[in-house]
Amino acid sequence: MYNLTIHFGPNAVAWSFLFKDGDKARARMRSFLEFKDPVVDRTALIEDDYGQIAYIAINQIHGVLLEDMELGQESRIIRGIDQARGQLRANKRATNDPEIQQLQRDNRSPNIISPFPNGGLRQ
């Protein structure tokens, strides 16, 4: 699955189109870049594999991004694993940090003596 995102217009609008085939998505991407002409104002029709159809002024296109969604998903997983590893290392260092240990000791509430068993109230 391939996601073709087109960034266009004066207000920075982005639309995404999904394609099952990478070659088809790449061809669509190239067609926008090839037909862009600063003199002639052209409009293009784009239809993806999931029923979205749009007319876009080609000269209003500021950028086009093509993403292989399978690889994109893998990259998000790798980033998440890296974030988790970093968080675990930070937590380990924090438990040995003298300033944090002192703050934790200072924030402990004093013990409360209760006349009732287990500190509970009787009815």
Of residues 62 and 20, more confidence is placed in: 20
3-state secondary structure (DSSP) of residue 103: helix
Strand-pairing partners, residue 6, are 15, 64
Angle at Cα 46 formed by Cα 37 and Cα 57, nearest 5°? 35
Segment 54-58 mean pLDDT: 87
What pLDDT sits at residue 109?
60
Q: Is it the case that residue 121 has pLDDT exceeding 70?
A: no
Q: Is it the case that residue 123 has pLDDT exceeding 60?
A: no
Lowest-pLDDT range of 17-26, 78-87, 88-97: 88-97
What pLDDT sits at residue 116?
64
Long-range contacts of 10-13 (CB under 8 A, 24+ apart): 10/60, 12/62
Q: Would you kindly state where each structural domain of the chain is located, as residue ranges?
A: 2-69, 71-106
Q: How confident is the model at residue 1 (pLDDT cuts 50, 70, 90)?
A: very high
The chain-wide mean pLDDT, for the chain, equals: 85
Q: Is it the case that residue 50 has pLDDT exceeding 90?
A: yes
3-state secondary structure (DSSP) of residue 4: strand
Nearest to 66 by CA among 109, 5, 108, 9: 5
